[in-house]
A and B are shown apart, each in its own frame.
Chain A
Amino acid sequence: MVVCDLEAGVGPVVRSDQADVVLAVAEPTVKSIEVARRAVEIAAGRARVIVIANRVRGEEDVEAVRAVLGDHEVVVVPEEPGIAGADRDGAAPLDAAPESAGVRALVALAERLGERARRGPAAHETRSERRS
């Protein structure tokens, strides 16, 4: 399995046409939601898209992301001192804040993706068919 942390912005998504899954990360800000929306628009035809609503502080924030990107699966990562602290200390969130809701949401996502990869491309293709 390959996990690629792309350069910021939409351009890198255009070039990563080999990705099976695109995780589009957005904070509850208009600008970052717009960048995620453009990235999703490019990726949606060729990869499974999952939106990560990061640093959300409440239902309103989740709704702001869903209002634009709600056609796709949205994984919610709440704003938490544990994850911010890991960043500050130069540590992995998985080590510094393993019990935080955000890390647990990402671990659960990874477990789903790992399971999907194990089932093979046929299952992935079936599941990645667009609903619309």
Chain B
Amino acid sequence: MKIAVAGKGGVGKTTVSGTVARALARTGHDVLALDADANPMLGVSLGVGPEETERLLAVRQAIDAGEIEHQRSTEELIEGCGTDAPDGVRLVVVSRIDQADPG
């Protein structure tokens, strides 16, 4: 099941996404949390902390700027642009939703 969280800027999409993702993981599902926002802050709402959230943003910006090669496969993307969040959620910061197809 793929769940997309939509809405106007600043309405609380990230809070909803982070809370739902972790609560889903607590029910025993493998959960991949994708941050497609222009200002990726999902890490904070998932509880990985502001520093790790900043680090992921820096990785994504380096990829967007061409300083790091684009991840060729979904696995490389999840590994290179991701981090482990509480409750077993895997967080990945993506540039565009159309790169985020988990297959």
Query: Which residues in A have some Cβ–Cβ distance to B below 8 Å?
Result: 1-10, 12-13, 15-16, 18-27, 31-32, 35-36, 39, 43, 47, 52, 54-55, 77, 83, 86-87, 90-95, 103, 106-107, 109-111, 113-117, 124
Query: Once the chains bind, are A36 and B6 in contact (CB under 8 Å)?
Result: yes
A18 to B22, CA, bound (A): 21
Which residue of chain A lies nearest to B94 when distances are taken between CB atoms in the complex?
Answer: A4
Give the number of residues in B that approach A within 8 Å (Cβ atoms): 52
Q: How many A-B residue pairs have CB under 8 A?
A: 208
Mark each residue of chain B from 38 to 60: 1 if its CB lies under 8 Å from any CB of chain A, else 0.
10101011110110000000000
A-B contacts besides A4-B3, A20-B3, A52-B12, 19 pairs, CB < 8 Å: A4-B4, A4-B34, A5-B36, A5-B42, A7-B38, A12-B6, A16-B4, A18-B2, A20-B1, A21-B1, A23-B6, A24-B6, A27-B8, A32-B8, A35-B11, A36-B6, A39-B6, A87-B15, A113-B20
What are 15 A-B residue pairs whose CB atoms fall within 8 Å in the complex? A1-B1, A2-B31, A3-B31, A4-B3, A6-B97, A23-B4, A23-B16, A35-B8, A39-B6, A86-B45, A87-B45, A90-B44, A92-B86, A95-B86, A106-B16
Q: Which of B11, B46, B47 has the most CB of A within 10 A?
A: B11
Q: List the 6 closest A-B pairs by CB distance, nearest first.
A: A92-B47, A110-B23, A8-B9, A25-B7, A114-B27, A19-B4
Query: Once the chains bind, are A92 and B7 in contact (CB under 8 Å)?
Result: no
Query: Once the chains bind, are A3 and B24 in contact (CB under 8 Å)?
Result: yes
Q: A1-B31, A110-B19 are in contact. Are A8 and B3 (CB under 8 A)?
A: no
- Across the interface, B19 reaches (CB within 8 A) one of A15, A16, A31, A106, namely A106
Give every chain A residue within 8 A of B42 (Cβ-Cβ): 5
A24 to B100, CA, bound (A): 19
